[in-house]
Amino acid sequence: MKIAVMFVLSFCCLSGAFAVDPAAVEFLGERAEPEIRTGCVVYGGEYLNSPYVVKRKGNEVFINERSIRWFVPWPIPGPVVRGVTKVMPAIPDAIDENTSEWDKEVRKFKLELLDHLIYLGITNRVERFVLEISKLPNVSSAQVLSDREVAVWWKNGTQGVPCMIYPERHDRRRRKWPQDKKTLQEMGDREVAKFASALRGDSFLLLPGGDCHVAISGAGLDRDVYRAIEMCDAGLSPEKICEKLGGRTEFPMELSEALVRHRRSFGDAYFAWAKRKVVAVIEAEKRAEREREEKEAAERECAAARRRGRGFSP
């Protein structure tokens, strides 16, 4: 599993294809960073051409007019009071095997389930959450990752993306969102500055959105995407690409399929960036591997020569 974070987004904050609320735009306005000609952005499996314009519009952050995330929900909610669902929620009849994990009924069930477990005050919350969420007809399987994280495999969605289940000590916390315009605008400006700074540093951003909501993070994703494009050009199917990359990096099938769908978006601009930032690293890794193999072969030859000198058969 990837553990060295290159760029991470919480999936609960993704805006994706939802339109920004006009009321939020009227209240908070817009603010954009100057054009950025460095970096690389892959959004939902699609390469976005530079230059990049990162801006705050209403309560959301955009890169080249693609909604990346919101920095405050809209309308702004009041304080959250947890542990009020006294009865285990029933599985809605509207949920079947093909229902998306982003469906409002699914999201409502997950929230009510967690709130009920908070109400019960049990200590094995993640285990109970996995037990109950596995009963949904659109869930293939689920497992506990830690005392605060679970992973769910959806039949028509993401596969094993970690999901935070807050431990008991967070139950009574109330997050109060600020209400004044200036504070909210400053929050959005900090988010914009974070994305802009990453791109000015020539970073690779793999962002969920569009028709691919897979959210993964870690070191080496730029190389994995480059290899996936190479394998796509060689005629490999998404299944084969996922198989070749999955053993080492847990490369999701949805991302492989999205990269194949959006292959035409990876043009000259992308390969110019990849040549500068990715190919050089790959070639260095290959040289290091060849040198290691040559060193091991030389050591084996020296050992064999010493054995021959002592009268042993090789």
CA–CA separation, 253 and 260 (whole Å): 11
- 182 shares a domain with 70: yes
Helices (H) and strands (E) in the chain, counts: 9, 10
- 121 shares a domain with 43: no
Q: What is the mean pLDDT of residues 232-237?
A: 95
3-state secondary structure of 73: coil
Do residues 252 and 216 touch, judged by C-beta distance below 8 A? yes
What tens digit of pLDDT does each residue of 174-194 get? Answer: 467 888 999 999 999 999 999
155 belongs to a structural domain: yes
pLDDT at 247: 55
Neighbours of 292 (CB within 10 A): 10
Q: What element of type H or E holds 303?
A: helix 280-309
Confidence of residue 211 (pLDDT cuts 50, 70, 90): confident
Q: What is the mean pLDDT of residues 218-247?
A: 89
From edge to edge, which strands make up the β-sheet containing 40-43?
46-48, 40-43, 204-207
Is 50 exceeded by the pLDDT of residue 173?
A: no
CA–CA separation, 277 and 272 (whole Å): 9
Range of the domain at 140: 79-175
Do residues 165 and 129 touch, judged by C-beta distance below 8 A? yes
Q: Of the ranges 14-28, 252-266, 296-310, which one carries the lowest mean pLDDT score? A: 14-28
**Domain ends where: 143, 175, 207?**
175
- 168 shares a domain with 91: yes
105 belongs to a structural domain: yes
What tens digit of pLDDT does each residue of 79-125 get? Answer: 667 778 889 999 999 999 999 988 999 999 998 998 898 888 877 88
Which residue's structure tokens are 């690779």?
A: 204
Helices in 137-220 by DSSP H: which ranges?
181-200
